Amino acid sequence: MMGGLCFMVKGKMCVGVEKSRLMARIGPDAYEGALARKGCRPMDFTGRPMRGFVFVGLDGLGSEQELGYWLELALAYNAVAKKSARKKSKTSRTSRRR
């Protein structure tokens, strides 16, 4: 996860830690409401926000209840999220041609 620590649940990215902020995969339905919460902002590794993923700064994680909110939101989405398609490695494509 781009220089951070990622926690997978059922083979899908759920939450992570990057620098001093939490990354949460909360899904597109919860996205707009989450952005209104303290410390939350769009996740934008590339300069373009990734809808359904947010960063939560320390100011939004001041208590166990606040952390629990984000974890529950991410776990709820994880139950319905689809796994990302696995990319085929170059070595497997090369070995099939032989």
> 14 and 75 in contact (C-beta within 8 Å)?
yes
Query: 32: pLDDT confidence band, cut at 50, 70 and 90?
Result: very high
CB 60 within 8 A of CB 39: yes
Q: State the amino acid at position 69 in one-letter form.
A: Y
β-pair type (53-56, 12-18): unpaired
Residue 91 pLDDT = 63
Give residue 1's pLDDT band: very low, low, confident or very high (50, 70, 90).
Answer: very low
Say what the pTM is.
0.80
pLDDT band at 27 (very low <50, low <70, confident <90, very high): very high
DSSP state, residue 86: P
